[in-house]
Amino acid sequence: MSTPRPADTSEPTQAGIPAGTDDPRGSVDRAVAQLAALLGGDSGALTVTEVDPACGTVRLALSLDDVDCADCVLPPDRLYDVVRSQLDAAVPGLRAVTLEDPRLSAPTTNTPTTSSPATGGTITVLDPTCGAAPGDPDPGPDLGPLAGRRIGFRIDVLWPAWDQTVDEWTTTLERAGATVTSWRRAQGLKGAAGASTQAEYDAFVGGVDAVVSGLANCGSCTSWSVRDGLSGLEKGLPTVVAVTERFVGLAGVLAADNGRPGLRLIALRAALNTLSEDEVRAAAREAFPRLLAGLGAVTEGVGV
């Protein structure tokens, strides 16, 4: 005769936010508030529209009604990555994060039950692991002596102050015996134009000994500056991303989300692009020792 099994009084195992989690909605609201601060003032408004603890799902909506420059907001795929990683860290047990984004003209989803409002698209990001690998904390190699090395500056079409900063740094680097070259990114290109531009950048990175990428001074340009910096780091080059102070946190999150939390950042003044050219150049000279430290560069007698 078999012995009767005791009744199972434990709760059934299912996907969802653990029952012991205090105030799941409050945890999500706090995480979204922190996201708003991380993304900066041009990020649009993120609103929590639904939290289902039993299913482990969260739905958010992005509004761009009060944004002066929609192109400055993180691109949709990058925004989803940041939202997902921050919510995963703040709320254990999330199974799906859905974000309604008015920039999407048609629904984009990987579950058949997700719908989209007529004004925009929706993407749902599933995370079956309920966690993320910590990534590679290695910041990359140090450059060593500057003399004879080729320094590559990735610049952009957006921020004149970054051109002035690079010009100021170029003078000092060349005085130390380095060769300086630059490449200008027109971000957001797609299709054949995007592929051709990326091939140009890859060739540029292949011809330098170190990469300095910038300027991270809005959501979108932070994303692209980090992305281009990571290209150098993945090729084993000393790499630094230049970022204004208010976007340092976002740059760090983007690097970590791409598996390289050790990416080196150099912080520049938040109001850099509102300064006069003389003030920008003075700020560049003040920041030059931090650039050298970020690159792991060694130099003597260059007036720093």
- For 80, the 3-state DSSP assignment is helix
Do 210 and 253 belong together in one domain?
A: yes
For residue 6, is it within any domain?
A: no
Do 110 and 238 belong together in one domain?
A: no
DSSP 29-79: HHHHHHHHHHH-TTS-EEEEEEEETTTTEEEEEEE-TT-S-GGGSPPHHHH
For residue 16, is it within any domain?
A: no
Do 216 and 273 belong together in one domain?
A: yes
- pTM value? 0.78
Do 149 and 293 belong together in one domain?
A: yes
For residue 85, is it within any domain?
A: yes
Do 112 and 163 belong together in one domain?
A: no
Number of domains composing the chain: 2
The predicted pLDDT at position 72 comes to 82
CATH of the domain at 73: 3.30.300
- Give CA–CA dist 173/304, Å, rounded: 10
Do 292 and 165 belong together in one domain?
A: yes
For residue 135, is it within any domain?
A: no
- Give CA–CA dist 46/267, Å, rounded: 26
Which tokens in the block code for residue 127? 């995370």
Do 163 and 263 belong together in one domain?
A: yes
Which tokens in the block code for residue 218? 């809005």
Start-to-end C-alpha separation, the chain: 88
For residue 243, is it within any domain?
A: yes
The predicted pLDDT at position 125 comes to 54
Domain end marker among 126, 159, 194 = 126
- For 116, the 3-state DSSP assignment is coil
For residue 150, is it within any domain?
A: yes
pLDDT in tens, 29-46: 888 888 888 876 666 688
Do 74 and 156 belong together in one domain?
A: no
Domain end marker among 80, 97, 126 = 126
Domain end marker among 67, 92, 126 = 126
Stretches where the chain sits below pLDDT 70 are: 1-22, 40-44, 105-134, 301-304
Do 210 and 67 belong together in one domain?
A: no
Can you give the residue range of the structural domain that contains 76? Answer: 24-126
For residue 122, is it within any domain?
A: yes
The predicted pLDDT at position 55 comes to 83
CATH of the domain at 167: 3.40.50.360
For residue 133, is it within any domain?
A: no
The predicted pLDDT at position 240 comes to 98
Do 149 and 227 belong together in one domain?
A: yes
Do 191 and 106 belong together in one domain?
A: no
Do 171 and 256 belong together in one domain?
A: yes
Phi and psi (nearest 5°) for 49? Answer: -105, -20
